[in-house]
A = this chain, B = another copy of it.
Amino acid sequence: MTRIALDAMGGDHAPMEIVRGARDAAHELGVHIILVGDQEKIQRELDGDAAGGLISIVHAPEVVEMDEHPVNAIRKKKNSSIVVATQLVKEGTADAVVSAGSTGAQMASSLFILGRIAGVDRPAISTLLPTARGVVALLDVGANVDCRPQHLKQFAVMGSLYAEKVLGLPNPRVGLLNIGAEETKGNELTLAAYQLLKEAEINFVGNVEGRDLFLGTSDVAICDGFVGNVVLKSAEGLAMSILGMFQQELGRLEDILGRERIMHIMSGFKRRMDYAEYGGAPLLGVDGVSVISHGSSRARAIKNAVRVAKETVEQRLVPAIKASLEKEIGKGVDN
């Protein structure tokens, strides 16, 4: 049975919603959950229901706060929930770690404790964006703000394997986020990356413009972490802003539609754009499974993040990335 170390203290709604999500995951997904954090607080939330033995607790008295410097925090707080949970993976007690806490601290813990996969210069954070047809995995969205072409190639190989193994998309279409469809369009980075992606063992479909991103033109879209982060956050901001306008327009129809129906429409609409459906995404390029969940995750998102971790373990994503990138080592100079 797959064993997931879940950071019980990470996220805006920890530990309550994390423990709830753990219980749902244990019941529904048939995984063993190791809740890592303040034992007393966790036990209070569990209230005697350990899902028939599928949930256990490992005590970790410290917590990394959201505003702490990630690297300093994990060096100083050896007994923090994120460090202890990641150690469980390293020593083989757990198969994966899941956290909704500080992304920087999780990234740093994973890097220092699990290490990088050989052939990966920089691990990448991916996110799923809703499109007209389904979802697109965008990466990197923040781990690496200044990238070289070679990094984008590694992101592409890892993103492709993630889409295939965890999202279940055969032969995923990988696009390069760029400012024009033609091969000759782009900045220095994307022009050089294009040439590397053409030669990579992926289904490279060429450049993807911002407009295509949300139309589902590709299953995976590659960019540096600065661009990815700005696109992701702009999209969130714009979606919120449009939802607000939508709610206003519907509000004017309250006499005709009734309050209840309007709320029903809005919630259906929000669900279509909801990150909680996917729960989280694995940090790609570290030597172990580390799933990053949204800071505002509630029980449903946590359960789904555990599902992602389970799939990532069982579909053997890390060994696949290792095998794929091993071949690249020493192939070319670092450009």
Contact = CB atoms under 8 A, between A and B. Distances in A.
Contacts of A272: 245
Contacts of A145: 179, 186-188
A223 B223 CA distance: 16
Contact of A210 (B211, B237, B269): B237
Query: Interface extent on A, as a size class?
Result: 35 or more
Interface stretch (A161-169, A227-235, A275-283): A227-235
Contact of A249 (B237, B238, B256, B265): B265
Nearest to A272: B245
Contacts of A265: 249, 253
Interface in A236-250: 236-246, 249
A326 interface: no
Contacts of A212: 237
Contacts of A226: 179, 186-187, 190, 227
Given A213-B237, A237-B210, A238-B239, A188 B146 contact: yes
Contact of A179 (B130, B229, B237, B239): B229
Contact of A235 (B190, B210, B215): B210
A112 interface: no
Given A146-B188, A186-B145, A211 B227 contact: no
A188 to B, nearest CB: 5
